[in-house]
């Protein structure tokens, strides 16, 4: 029956041929798409996106893979479909006019139909066959064929005919999607999975804690390996997109480039002088410890280098952020105007985590930033449980790493000195490469800010807790000051410095007075030496005088010895 | 019995000369002869020859008998072996047991 497709398969005989679904992420899970030339069953409850799934498969098939398609709708009339799909960016009318897409609305009205005697569904086959042949369709969607069961009473005929239909579709060599309503105990109400058994995809729409998440699972895929997990998926103005979580591998390229933190003295605390490009950084700390300020510095730094920055503010509006940062000399507005900085503010509860991830994903694709800042990630906990947030962060960080984007997250921790086992931190700490903690250092009636590096993968870092000040001209990291009782901050530091300078002054005075004393002693000594020298000289002079006198005397008295000899 | 001024326009959709189609045609011709005394027209449409016509009348099952006139449109699917049902379905005769 599928000999036709077997002919094409000789190039890779072991691999099942697949048809790209056109649904972002789904091909990754299915390792290539839906089984080519075979029917796939998509089942799920009302409003979980079955029709859209099918329509996207067709539209993308036409626009991206040049495969015309037939959409046989058993539920919605053609006009309704056109209207519904235009809101998702699919211009069905245009495609139909181009003879690429054919929509056939099959209406089964029970009140109009009387059944008597034997019949078959050859009419449906002919209609479908005619539609396929008229545009050379490669893809077919039968949207909720189970509606037939509501219109026709003879289920035994229907079942037999449906079985024949699926065989016939296979024989036609078209890749088909058949949608079915989720049943009580089976995947579909009429047990269609018995007939369409090559590939079954289950869609699910769950609301947990008032936040809805759509999920997709591949129940079965004959002749192919596939992801088995439940994958969240989204429907937005660009259709369906699926996010595989666990298919992400840790094989992204790494960069050896260093980017500055934006603060010179903080750079100095890292042996390489900053963060690695494409790494993820966490700044955690209690309330009011200048996490956002540190993040803004990094944003400024990236923009100064000409890189684009995406700033997600979950707490402040863009204008508020700009105003607050301008108070310490960071002019974010200038970068926003230049188009280097985009600030996106929204409440985390606006939509589910998946939607946040999708928004991010889309913005990253459109904006192509060098750095992404999320301030703060701890707020996301309010819309998901720990595991969900954790999986969200894994995917987010992977997404950023794959794109070699430096990511900076801030995280609010509880007011507790040893708050390293806090929920969000636990889930993110192993994911981030660099972790900076800012915390309050309390004592002698004041609170001061201390900063230290908890970890920095791939480089050495300072072990010091550095106090920092936020002044009008920005952040200033102060040199470490160690007093007799450990690290000193704030006024204690000032006090200590004062004491130290007083001591210094005193010491200097002492030295000076000692110097003067020595000088005096030297002067006395010099005077003594001078006096003694004078005395000595006078003695010598006296002696000389005596000698001269003696010689003169000798001259006056003639020598008797001399005369005698002569 | 049919009223004097009424006219029945019927279409029988078939797909080739299948036994079911042949039976259906024979049946409807017989009923019309008996009950509509000439005020009818049966058009046979073979979908194998004209597949594009299936969409217009929302044909799914074969054979299907469609009553176009008088309105409303009625459809009867199957080989039309049950005379009672066909006549009621076509609104030719109200349902009541034969006397």
Residue A75: active-site member: yes
Assess contact for A201 and A40: CB atoms under 8 A.
Answer: yes
Say if strands A239-242 and A230-236 run parallel, antiparallel, or are unpaired. antiparallel
Would you call A126 and B88 a contact, using CB atoms and an 8 Å cutoff? no
Q: Could you give the dihedral angle defined by the CA atoms of residues A545, A546, A549 and A554, in that order, rounded to the nearest 10 degrees? A: -140
Assess contact for A343 and A311: CB atoms under 8 A.
Answer: yes
Alpha carbons A165 and A64: distance in angstroms, whole number: 28
**By residue range, what is the domain housing residue B44?**
8-88
| pLDDT, position A545 | 93
DSSP letter at A449 equals E
Would you call A123 and B48 a contact, using CB atoms and an 8 Å cutoff? no
Nearest alpha carbon to residue A433 among A412, A413, A467, A404 = A404
The tens-digit pLDDT sequence of chain A (566 residues) is 444 444 444 444 557 888 888 887 888 888 888 999 889 999 888 888 888 889 999 999 999 999 999 999 988 888 888 888 888 788 888 888 998 999 988 888 777 788 888 888 888 899 899 999 999 999 999 988 888 888 888 888 888 888 899 899 999 889 999 998 887 777 777 777 777 778 899 998 887 766 677 888 888 888 888 877 788 888 877 788 887 655 455 666 777 888 888 888 888 888 888 888 888 898 888 887 888 888 998 999 899 888 899 998 888 888 998 998 888 888 888 999 988 898 888 877 777 777 777 778 778 878 889 899 988 887 777 666 677 777 778 878 888 888 888 999 888 876 554 444 455 566 677 778 888 888 887 777 778 888 888 888 888 888 888 888 888 888 888 777 777 766 777 777 788 888 889 999 999 999 999 999 999 999 999 999 999 999 999 999 999 999 999 999 888 887 666 555 55
Per-position b or e across B6-37, b if 16+ CB within 10 A of its CB? eebebbbbbbeebebbebbbebbeebbeebbe
Residues from B in contact with A at Cβ < 8 Å: 13, 15, 18, 20, 23-24, 47-48, 51-52, 54-55, 58-64, 72-82, 85-86, 88-89
Alpha carbons B90 and B34: distance in angstroms, whole number: 14
Locate tokens 């040893």: which residue? A418
Question: Tokens representing B18?
Answer: 């299948």
- Smallest CA–CA separation between A115 and chain B, in Å? 5
Alpha carbons A148 and A235: distance in angstroms, whole number: 28
Alpha carbons A40 and B24: distance in angstroms, whole number: 36
Neighbours of A275 (CB within 10 A): 28
Q: Choose the mutation target among A107, A108, A118 for the interface with B, i.e. most B CBs under 10 Å.
A: A118
CATH of the domain at B71: 3.40.30.10
Neighbours of A145 (CB within 10 A): 24
**Which residue of B15, B48, B85 is in closest CB contact with A114?**
B85
**Please, what is the Cα angle at B39 between B35 and B42, to 5 degrees?**
90
- Smallest CA–CA separation between A102 and chain B, in Å? 12
**Which residue of A104, A112, A122 is in closest CB contact with B62?**
A122
Question: Tokens representing A473?
Answer: 């001209």
Task: Tell me the DSSP string of A161-221.
Answer: HHHHHHHHHHHHT-EEEEEEE--SSSSSTT-GGGT--SEEEEEEEEEETTEEEEEEEEEEE
Q: Which helix (H) or strand (E) holds A459?
A: none
Query: Which residue of chain A comes nearest to B48, CA vs CA?
Result: A126
Locate tokens 């079911």: which residue? B20
**Please, what is the Cα angle at B23 between B17 and B24, to 5 degrees?**
95
Neighbours of A501 (CB within 10 A): 10
Alpha carbons A394 and A246: distance in angstroms, whole number: 9
Neighbours of A243 (CB within 10 A): 23
Residue tagged active-site, from A28, A194, A315, A316: A315
Predicted confidence band of residue B3 (pLDDT cuts 50, 70, 90) = low
| pLDDT, position A176 | 92
0.90 exceeded by pTM: no
Assess contact for B55 and A127: CB atoms under 8 A.
Answer: yes
Residue A315: active-site member: yes
Is residue B75 assigned to a domain? yes
Would you call A115 and B76 a contact, using CB atoms and an 8 Å cutoff? yes
Is residue B55 assigned to a domain? yes
Assess contact for A394 and A401: CB atoms under 8 A.
Answer: no
Query: Which residue of chain B comes nearest to A148, CA vs CA?
Result: B60
Q: What are phi and psi of A466, to 5 degrees?
A: -105, 135
Would you call A123 and B64 a contact, using CB atoms and an 8 Å cutoff? yes
β-strand partners of A282: A409, A435
Is residue B14 assigned to a domain? yes
Residue tagged active-site, from A17, A67, A75, A193: A75
Neighbours of A112 (CB within 10 A): 17
Size of interface A-B (CB pairs under 8 A): 96
Is residue B26 assigned to a domain? yes
Q: Choose the mutation target among B54, B56, B63 for the interface with A, i.e. most A CBs under 10 Å.
A: B54
Residues from A in contact with B at Cβ < 8 Å: 104, 106-109, 112-124, 126-127, 129-130, 148, 152
Would you call A116 and B89 a contact, using CB atoms and an 8 Å cutoff? yes
Tell me the three state secondary structure of residue A376.
coil
Is residue B97 assigned to a domain? no
Alpha carbons B39 and B30: distance in angstroms, whole number: 14
Alpha carbons A126 and A389: distance in angstroms, whole number: 51
| pLDDT, position A70 | 93
Is residue B2 assigned to a domain? no
Q: Choose the mutation target among B21, B77, B89 for the interface with A, i.e. most A CBs under 10 Å.
A: B77
β-strand partners of A456: A434
Is residue B36 assigned to a domain? yes
A562: left (phi over 0), alpha (psi -120 to 50) or beta: alpha
Alpha carbons B63 and B78: distance in angstroms, whole number: 6
What's the structural domain count of chain B? 1
Is residue B99 assigned to a domain? no
Assess contact for B65 and B14: CB atoms under 8 A.
Answer: no
**Which residue of B18, B72, B80 is in closest CB contact with A116?**
B80
Q: What separation, in Å, do the N-terminal and C-terminal C-alpha atoms of chain B show?
A: 14
Tell me the three state secondary structure of residue A235.
strand
Chain B positions in Cβ-Cβ contact with residue A124 (cut-off 8 Å): 60-61
Task: Tell me the DSSP string of A244-307.
Answer: -STT--S-------EE--S-HHHHTTBTTSSEETT-EEEEEESTTSSHHHHHHHHHHHHHHTT-
Assess contact for A232 and A16: CB atoms under 8 A.
Answer: no
Task: Tell me the DSSP string of A94-161.
Answer: HHHHTTSEEEEE----GGGEEE-S--B-HHHHHHHHHHHHHHT-SEEEEETTTHHHHH-S-HHHHHHH
Q: What is the mean pLDDT of residues B75-95?
A: 78
**Which residue of B13, B55, B85 is in closest CB contact with A116?**
B85
| pLDDT, position A415 | 55
**Which residue of A112, A118, A130 is in closest CB contact with B51?**
A130
Assess contact for A35 and A199: CB atoms under 8 A.
Answer: yes
Locate tokens 């545009």: which residue? A135
């Amino acid at each position: 029956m599928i000999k036709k497709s077997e002919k094409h398969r000789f190039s890779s005989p072991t691999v099942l041929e697949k048809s790209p679904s056109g649904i972002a992420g789904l091909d990754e899970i299915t390792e290539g798409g839906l089984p080519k030339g075979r029917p796939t069953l998509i089942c799920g409850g009302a409003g979980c996106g079955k029709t859209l799934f099918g329509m996207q498969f067709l539209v993308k098939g036409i626009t991206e893979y040049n495969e015309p398609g037939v959409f046989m709708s058993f539920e919605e009339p053609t006009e309704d479909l056109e209207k519904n799909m235009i809101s998702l960016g699919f211009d069905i009318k245009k495609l139909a006019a181009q003879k690429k897409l054919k929509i056939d609305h099959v209406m089964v009205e029970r009140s109009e139909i009387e059944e008597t005697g034997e019949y078959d569904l050859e009419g449906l086959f002919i209609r479908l066959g005619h539609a396929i042949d008229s545009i050379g369709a490669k893809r077919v969607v039968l949207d909720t064929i189970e509606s037939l069961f509501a219109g026709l009473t003879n289920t035994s005929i229907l079942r037999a005919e449906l079985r024949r239909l699926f065989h016939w579709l296979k024989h036609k060599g078209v890749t088909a999607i058949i949608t079915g309503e989720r049943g009580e105990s089976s995947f579909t109400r009429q047990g269609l999975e018995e007939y369409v058994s090559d590939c079954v995809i289950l869609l699910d729409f769950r609301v947990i804690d008032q936040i809805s998440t759509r999920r997709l699972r591949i129940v079965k895929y004959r002749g192919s390996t596939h992801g088995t997990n439940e994958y969240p998926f989204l429907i937005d103005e660009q259709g369906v997109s699926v996010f595989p979580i666990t298919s992400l591998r840790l094989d992204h390229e790494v960069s050896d480039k260093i980017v500055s933190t934006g603060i010179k003295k903080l750079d100095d605390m890292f042996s390489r002088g900053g963060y690695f490009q494409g790494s993820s950084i966490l700044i955690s700390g209690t309330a009011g410890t200048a996490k956002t300020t540190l993040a803004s510095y990094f944003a400024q730094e990236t923009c100064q280098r000409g890189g684009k920055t995406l700033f997600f503010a979950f707490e402040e509006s863009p204008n508020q952020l700009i105003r607050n940062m301008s108070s310490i000399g960071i002019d974010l507005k200038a970068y926003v105007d230049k188009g280097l900085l985009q600030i996106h503010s929204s409440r985390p509860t606006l939509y589910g985590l998946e939607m946040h991830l999708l928004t991010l994903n889309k913005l990253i694709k459109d904006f192509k930033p060098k750095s992404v800042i999320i301030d703060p990630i701890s707020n996301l906990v309010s819309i998901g449980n720990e595991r969900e947030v954790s999986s969200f962060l894994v995917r987010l960080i992977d997404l950023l790493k794959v794109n070699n984007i430096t990511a900076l997250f801030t995280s609010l921790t509880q007011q507790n000195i040893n708050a390293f086992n806090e929920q969000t931190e636990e889930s993110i700490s192993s994911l981030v490469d660099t972790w900076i903690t800012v915390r309050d250092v309390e004592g002698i009636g004041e609170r001061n800010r201390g900063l230290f590096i908890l970890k920095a993968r791939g480089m050495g870092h300072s072990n010091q807790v550095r106090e920092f000040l936020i002044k009008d001209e920005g952040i200033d990291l102060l040199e470490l000051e160690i007093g007799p009782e450990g690290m000193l901050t704030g006024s204690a530091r000032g006090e200590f410095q004062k004491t130290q300078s007083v001591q210094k002054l005193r010491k200097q005075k002492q030295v000076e007075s000692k110097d003067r004393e020595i000088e005096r002693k030297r002067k006395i000594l010099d005077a003594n030496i001078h006096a003694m020298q004078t005395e000595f000289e006078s003695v010598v002079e006296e002696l000389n005088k005596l000698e001269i006198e003696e010689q003169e005397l000798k001259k006056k008295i003639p020598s008797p010895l001399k005369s005698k000899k002569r | 019995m049919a009223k004097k001024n009424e006219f029945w326009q019927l279409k029988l959709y078939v797909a080739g000369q299948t036994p079911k189609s042949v039976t259906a045609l024979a049946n409807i011709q017989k009923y019309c002869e008996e009950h509509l005394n000439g005020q009818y027209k049966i058009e046979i449409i073979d979908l194998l020859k004209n597949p594009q016509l299936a969409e217009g009348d929302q044909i799914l099952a074969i054979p299907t008998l469609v009553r176009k006139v008088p309105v409303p449109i009625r459809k009867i699917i199957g080989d039309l072996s049950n005379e009672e049902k066909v006549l009621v379905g076509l609104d030719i005769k109200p349902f009541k047991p034969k006397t």
